[in-house]
Chains A and B, each alone.
Chain A
Amino acid sequence: MGQDSIVLLGVNHKKTPLEIREKMALSGGYEEPLQKLRELKGLKEYYLLSTCNRVEILFTCQEPEQMRREVLDLLFAGKVSREEVAGCIYVYENQEAVHHIFMVSSSLDSMIVGESQILGQLKEAFRHASQQNTAGLILNKLLHKSFSVAKRVRTETRIGASAVSISYAAVELGRKIFGDLHGKCVMLIGAGEMAELAAEHLVGQGIQEVVVANRTLERAMKLAARFQGRAVGLDEIVEQLLDVDILISSTGAQGLVLFKKDISQLMRRRRNKPLFFIDIAVPRDLDPEINTLENVYLYDIDDLQSVVEMNREQREKEAVKAQRIVEEETLKFQRWLEGMEVTPTIVDLRAVAESICQAELAKTLPRLNGISSKERKSIERMASSIVAKMLYHPMRYLKTDHACIAQSERIMQVRTLFQLNELNEHYKQTGD
């Protein structure tokens, strides 16, 4: 039995238009699809990530080709045709998959490079996977590593410095439309985290009033209280829009929430005061036709990208630095993965034991004056036989098949007991 492959399948904002992402998004939460994946016996470990910009599945298995097909059929059958999926999906295996997940976590693959929301989303997705027990040894390690890579990138580069996110883009555009955001009124439809972040940013720019509309009024009231705003029901949105200047919509609704005809009637009553709509929901909440109305500006999540493009250059320099970190960490992880096989573990174990033995001998022998070379040899022999005896059982534990503990688990235990990973790195570094 060879080592499992790590496979990553996904679509993101770079290659896939919003229309397809909308259909593929796992808008019903992670529980159900994770349950469904349980049916595929070939999958060993797996986890799912679905944000407004990407849908990704990461899993380990023996036959990557076959599992890839099965996973895609299971998750997206009925939503998108096979051809469509094949046209936009990316597939990464092993090292590439590791690299990609590090890129994602450190926000280098994001629409807005350097934004920090993705890390939270990743953690959330991972939490679901570990609650459902679908992430095992390798994914646990990989995802935890990806969190620490993200942290490293954040602290060692200035990639997050220009405080960039959807909310930033929204503020930029709002300024171009309204000039000054002081005294303006913002409405949130849907009380999601993204909307909350955007609102926070806007309030920081002098927005006067926040109105929150949500399916459950309780959640709306909670969020509204944070900004000293008001909460309203979903059915009074159009009425409330009369005094609103900026609207951020992020509901999980399947269909549209606002239509062109609602707004065109409203504009007359507003005496054509400009309205700025931001639709960060996937699937979209607002009718794209709304943008054709005069004095109304509608931006969906893809449109915001072009705003973000504008100050890309300065961030790109930092991105190069960040990519180097990702590359480095990918190699480290690769080394760890390799360590997950029996033979290298045995080799490592021997090497570590041998080096301890040598180190102790080197300390002791010079202090023993006047011993013959024969005596010296026998001391050396004794040391190495102690080591060998000590290692006998751990070695056997590694090699022989065990009914209840998987081999990878056992390797892990031994490596942890003898601290092989840390020691290995230590020796490799000093060896370099």
Chain B
Amino acid sequence: MSYLLFQASFTVYCIATVMYIIFFFSQKNQIRRVARIIFIVAGSLHTVNILFRYLEAGHTPITSVHETISFFAWSIAWCHLSFRWRYTVKNSGTFAVLIVLLLMLTASVASREIVPLPPEMRSWWLPLHASVSIIAAAFLTLAAIGGSMYLVQERELKQKRFGFFFSRFPSLDTLDKLNQHCISIGFPLMTVGMLFGYLWAHQIWGGRPWQWNPKIVSAIITWLLYAGLMHQRFTLGWRGRRAAWITVVAFCAVLLTFWFVIKRGA
């Protein structure tokens, strides 16, 4: 049943992506409205899919590769949709839905087997740590989308050559604000997620929770990058291109951490 729902949501994401791309080229508001509704439908189906999976597995479905990536995609979709409810960031939906689709594609390739949890993982810390961290990563993904769009738009404005993207992308200010809002939500969540992870490790391994594995090193580097960016923004008013660059670089670190997590999971 959960697989059927997964397939369904995957298909609807596909349709949403196509609609968003059509909108991106045609810029007709009607198409955008339709695309958005389809996106919401896909997101809802995906939510039901995860609930069913929870019932089938008997534990929070954020353990296997398939589950983790699928949950990541789900978080991005809903983060984006929740954002769109408050701010209008022209055309960012196209990129968000594309990333969601790519993640779903990866998830569908991975094994869907439900693996029983090893005893040390059976804890309430698991859903807390994993879901908070992944939702944080979703916000940071949106920040990176905003950052990349900012870099493209800024380049066009600086070089005074106005190409395909110029009219389609929102203003620099909007993109910078998106970046700031996403990070100011994503970064605290990430911190909380890491804290949960630490407490959980403390519970399992007792006295020496620090294991110097690549996952933890990478997570710490990521955290430092975002912390640095937040600090500079609030004290020195770093913004614009520099902030966008750091967001993009830090997002690569997020992906790296994520990859280490998945590799260990697999």
Which of A's residues lie within 8 Å of B, judged by CB?
173, 175-180, 270-274, 291, 294-295, 297, 299, 303, 306-307, 309-310
Contacts and interface: CB of A to CB of B under 8 A. Distances in A.
B240 A176 contact: no
B162 A306 contact: yes
Contact of A303 (B160, B171, B236): B160
Interface of B: 153, 157-158, 160-162, 166-167, 170-174, 236-242
Contact of A310 (B162, B172, B240): B162
B160 A274 contact: no
Given A177-B171, A306-B162, A307-B162, A272 B157 contact: no
A178 B171 contact: yes
B259 to A, nearest CB: 32
3 residue pairs, one from A and one from B, having the closest CB atoms: A271-B237, A179-B171, A179-B173
A289 to B, nearest CB: 13
Contacts of A270: 237
Which label, helix, strand, loop or mixed, suits the secondary structure of the A interface? mixed
A74 B239 CA distance: 53
A178 B166 CA distance: 14
Contact of A295 (B160, B166, B167, B241): B241
20 contacts: A173-B157, A176-B157, A176-B171, A177-B157, A177-B173, A179-B170, A179-B174, A180-B171, A180-B173, A272-B239, A273-B239, A274-B172, A294-B240, A294-B241, A294-B242, A295-B240, A297-B157, A306-B160, A306-B161, A306-B162
B240 A274 contact: yes
A175 B166 CA distance: 12
A173 B173 CA distance: 12
Contact of B173 (A178, A291, A297, A310): A178
B166 A176 contact: yes
Contacts of B238: 272
Contacts of B242: 294
Contacts of B174: 179
Nearest to B176: A274
B173 A274 contact: yes
Contacts of B160: 299, 303, 306
Nearest to A310: B162
B109 to A, nearest CB: 40
Contacts of B167: 310
Contacts of B173: 177-180, 274
Contacts of B241: 294-295
Contact of B172 (A177, A291, A299, A307): A177
Contacts of A176: 153, 157, 166, 171-172
Nearest to B234: A271
Given A297-B157, A299-B160, A175 B171 contact: yes
Contacts of A297: 157-158
Nearest to A267: B237
A274 B175 CA distance: 13
A301 to B, nearest CB: 12
B158 A291 contact: yes
A245 to B, nearest CB: 10
Contacts of B237: 270-273
Contacts of B161: 306
A312 B261 CA distance: 53
Nearest to A175: B171
Given A177-B173, A179-B171, A272-B237, 10 more contacts: A176-B153, A178-B172, A179-B170, A179-B174, A272-B240, A274-B172, A294-B240, A306-B160, A306-B161, A307-B162
Contacts of B240: 272, 274, 294-295
- Best-buried of A176, A294, A309 by chain B (most CB within 10 Å): A176
